[in-house]
A = this chain, B = another copy of it.
Amino acid sequence: MAAYDKLVERFKKLHRLNHLSALATWDQAAMMPSGSNQARSEALAEMSTLTHELLTASEVGDWIEVAREESLDDLQKASLREMERQFEQTSVMPADLVKAKSLAASGCEHAWRSQRPENDWQGFSKNLEKVLKLTREEASIRSESSGVSPYDAMLELYEPGVNCQQLDTLFGDVKQWLPDYVQQATERHQSSHYEMPEGPFATDNLKALGQEVMTLLGFDFNRGRLDVSAHPFCGGVSEDVRITTRYRDNDFIESLMGVVHETGHARYEQNRPAETLGLPVSNGRSMGIHEGQSLFFEMQIGRSREFLALIRPLLLKHLTGGEELPAYQLNNLETIYRRVQPGFIRVEADEVTYPAHIILRYEIEKALISGDMTVSDLPDTWHEKMQQYLNLSTEGNYKDGCMQDIHWPLGAFGYFPSYTLGAMYAAQLFATIQNTIPDVHAKISSGELSVIFDWLKDNIWSQGSRYSTSELITRATGEDLNASFFKEHLKARYLTD
């Protein structure tokens, strides 16, 4: 058997085993009773050890060496490149560092769950220092192996091919106009009037509404489900995608858009290339491209006036028993779904202020990894940047400031930029679709969404990781990622009558 075929066999084996872990992780969040957590965590850790061994085994490195000399077609070459990337990124980390970081992170994250509500910066910072120290070690090892800077090496884990230089350019551009946009959009929102739909809403109705909207968006319920968890996510496997939401009996506004968002992730997963499924080359290209799909669904489609018009009859059907209430008028819904208001919390932020939260975190984590900043500098720097970007003070307010996110406690430095890259990808993709497909807006309001999704499927979803991120977006849109589409989108939606 050719070395490449041996690699295919090994990675497909890993795919099958990861199926069970992905399902158990979904179940842990969506189904599992709390008393089972220890047994579940031990089972997942055992499997993680086992798949780590299978991925980093010395024969895998040998097969890669040999396969490089084999006669492969273009897709196989891309496939080998992605196998190699996974192998290198995983095997470069010494086992004792993996274990030490995993222990420090799970300890920090566990304590953070109670420290955050107590605003306990002293307790938290000690744990975070340990996680940061180990992440710096990690970044330094990855840097040596890949030849890029330590922070760039961390970025590589989430956004292959993206580096600080590119981010500085993109985010530098955004910083030029964002404060003004935020101010204008906030003022416009403050002078608007709207009425919130009143509950109580029965869970069964909210669920039926969510499922009907997912069906409209092309979610394949024959290979996926919608369930409930404390923090909504898209999990499971490509062949069985499990998305979650949460229901509140007095508010459907954000949870419904959350379902739209996760459906974007889900469709990307459900439409990965079948012919290479199980191999790394079939994976979603990057976290940014993944977020690009969810934000395309939520921001480009979901919050558009045309989409709100399309789903308005479903809202009436499931939530008012068909009655036309003022809060469900199209103009009112549109105003609600376009509120802009600077706030402390990233996950509650609107589309306009969100990039400020991300740029702040990007600048801080870059400095934390390079050593230009220490954990003890964090609260002051956070406060200064919040003042500068959103005119808010977090002095002494750690829980709504630098303690709000789970990412750093978990050691996921380098992840945050993906969110705003995703917003930019979404805007650039939609701009291209607008230029490619006639009457896109009319098609949205009449529910002819499949023409849009087919374009995404052809140009993004079915491409998996065949191309580099830059090549993928250039092939799809004619140019590399460019913040101007995002700027134009925000301007059209929030600053234009």
Residues of A within 8 A of B (CB): 13, 16-17, 19-21, 23-24, 27, 31-36, 38-40, 42-47, 50, 220-225, 237, 239-240
Knowing A21-B20, A23-B27, A24-B23, the reply to whether A32 touches B222 (Cβ < 8 A) is no
CB distance from A316 to the nearest CB of B (A): 24
25 pairs from A and B in contact (CB 8 Å cutoff): A13-B46, A16-B46, A17-B43, A17-B46, A17-B47, A20-B21, A20-B44, A23-B23, A23-B24, A24-B24, A27-B27, A32-B240, A33-B221, A33-B223, A34-B222, A35-B239, A35-B240, A36-B223, A36-B239, A36-B240, A39-B237, A39-B239, A39-B240, A40-B240, A50-B50
Chain B residues whose C-beta falls within 8 Å of the C-beta of A31 in the assembled complex: 31, 225
Consensus secondary structure, chain A interface: helix
Q: Are A20 and B33 in contact (CB under 8 A)?
A: no
Q: Are A16 and B43 in contact (CB under 8 A)?
A: yes
Bound complex: CA A116 to CA B39 (Å)? 40
- Which of the residues B33, B40, B223, B225 comes within 8 Å of A19, measured between beta carbons? B40
Bound complex: CA A200 to CA B17 (Å)? 44
Knowing A23-B23, A27-B27, the reply to whether A222 touches B46 (Cβ < 8 A) is no
Q: Are B19 and A39 in contact (CB under 8 A)?
A: yes
Q: Are A17 and B50 in contact (CB under 8 A)?
A: yes
Q: Are A220 and B46 in contact (CB under 8 A)?
A: no
Q: Are B16 and A42 in contact (CB under 8 A)?
A: yes
> What would 18 more interface pairs be, CB under 8 Å, given A20-B23, A33-B221, A35-B240?
A16-B45, A17-B43, A17-B46, A19-B39, A20-B20, A20-B43, A23-B24, A24-B24, A32-B240, A33-B222, A33-B224, A33-B225, A34-B222, A35-B220, A35-B223, A36-B223, A39-B240, A40-B240
CB distance from A271 to the nearest CB of B (A): 13
Q: Are B222 and A35 in contact (CB under 8 A)?
A: yes
Bound complex: CA A21 to CA B21 (Å)? 10
Chain B residues whose C-beta falls within 8 Å of the C-beta of A16 in the assembled complex: 42-43, 45-47
Chain B residues whose C-beta falls within 8 Å of the C-beta of A20 in the assembled complex: 20-21, 23-24, 43-44, 47
CB distance from A266 to the nearest CB of B (A): 12
Bound complex: CA A32 to CA B221 (Å)? 10
CB distance from A203 to the nearest CB of B (A): 10
Chain B residues whose C-beta falls within 8 Å of the C-beta of A23 in the assembled complex: 20, 23-24, 27
Bound complex: CA A43 to CA B23 (Å)? 11
Chain B residues whose C-beta falls within 8 Å of the C-beta of A13 in the assembled complex: 46
Bound complex: CA A34 to CA B222 (Å)? 6
Chain B residues whose C-beta falls within 8 Å of the C-beta of A45 in the assembled complex: 16
CB distance from A456 to the nearest CB of B (A): 21
CB distance from A239 to the nearest CB of B (A): 4
Knowing A33-B221, A35-B220, A221-B33, the reply to whether A43 touches B19 (Cβ < 8 A) is yes
Bound complex: CA A34 to CA B224 (Å)? 9
Chain B residues whose C-beta falls within 8 Å of the C-beta of A35 in the assembled complex: 220, 222-223, 239-240
Bound complex: CA A297 to CA B39 (Å)? 27
Bound complex: CA A31 to CA B26 (Å)? 12
Chain B residues whose C-beta falls within 8 Å of the C-beta of A225 in the assembled complex: 31, 33
Chain B residues whose C-beta falls within 8 Å of the C-beta of A42 in the assembled complex: 16, 19
Q: What residue of chain B has the Cβ atom nearest to residue A14's Cβ?
A: B46
Q: What residue of chain B has the Cβ atom nearest to residue A19's Cβ?
A: B43
Chain B residues whose C-beta falls within 8 Å of the C-beta of A24 in the assembled complex: 19-20, 23-24
CB distance from A242 to the nearest CB of B (A): 9
Chain B residues whose C-beta falls within 8 Å of the C-beta of A34 in the assembled complex: 222
Chain B residues whose C-beta falls within 8 Å of the C-beta of A222 in the assembled complex: 33-35
CB distance from A46 to the nearest CB of B (A): 4
CB distance from A390 to the nearest CB of B (A): 42
Q: What residue of chain B has the Cβ atom nearest to residue A220's Cβ?
A: B35
Bound complex: CA A120 to CA B208 (Å)? 41
Chain B residues whose C-beta falls within 8 Å of the C-beta of A19 in the assembled complex: 24, 39-40, 42-43
Q: What residue of chain B has the Cβ atom nearest to residue A204's Cβ?
A: B204
Q: What residue of chain B has the Cβ atom nearest to residue A33's Cβ?
A: B222
Bound complex: CA A47 to CA B23 (Å)? 14
Chain B residues whose C-beta falls within 8 Å of the C-beta of A36 in the assembled complex: 223-224, 239-240
CB distance from A416 to the nearest CB of B (A): 31
Chain B residues whose C-beta falls within 8 Å of the C-beta of A38 in the assembled complex: 239
Bound complex: CA A19 to CA B23 (Å)? 12
Bound complex: CA A45 to CA B19 (Å)? 12
Q: What residue of chain B has the Cβ atom nearest to residue A236's Cβ?
A: B36
Bound complex: CA A220 to CA B34 (Å)? 11
